[in-house]
Amino acid sequence: AEQLVESGGDSVQVGGSLKLSCTASGFSFPDADKGWYRSGKGDGCELLATISPTGSAYYGNSAKGRFTISQDNAKSTVYLQMDSLKAEDTATYYCAASTGPTVGRWTRKPCVRIGYGMDFWGKGTPVSISS
């Protein structure tokens, strides 16, 4: 079965950095789009970044200049490096992936809700930023 498992969420202070990881199994990782999303309390959800099978990255407004998405096909893992963290970055962070005919369909689409859009979703990892 397809699975995505996030890790790396933590509590850090404003201005700090975190690197989230998401390890995939059960599908062809190199051929998939991957994305990072987040959902805060009552805030809906937000697309942070996506990366295509060729490594082309797209960033949402909140992530531009502070977050970097990358992937390691040998480890079937996608990463989100987050720098200059702000209190408003506090949220649960989710990774997602799309394969086959849906590749390219969701990489620039706004998040509607967690679990909608890309084919597979992880369960999330919490990030808390304190001042």
State residue 2's pLDDT score.
Answer: 96
Task: Encode the chain (131 residues) as per-residue pLDDT tens digits.
Answer: 999 999 999 999 999 999 999 999 999 999 999 999 999 987 689 999 999 999 999 999 999 999 999 999 999 999 999 999 999 999 999 999 999 999 999 999 999 999 999 999 999 999 999 99
For 23, counting Cβ atoms within 10 Å of its Cβ (0-12 exposed, 13-18 middle, 19+ buried), the class is middle
CA-based nearest residue to 98, from 112, 118, 83, 117: 118
| Spatial separation of the C-alpha atoms in residues 46 and 64, rounded to whole Å | 13
State residue 41's pLDDT score.
Answer: 80
CA-based nearest residue to 20, from 65, 83, 74: 83
State residue 42's pLDDT score.
Answer: 77
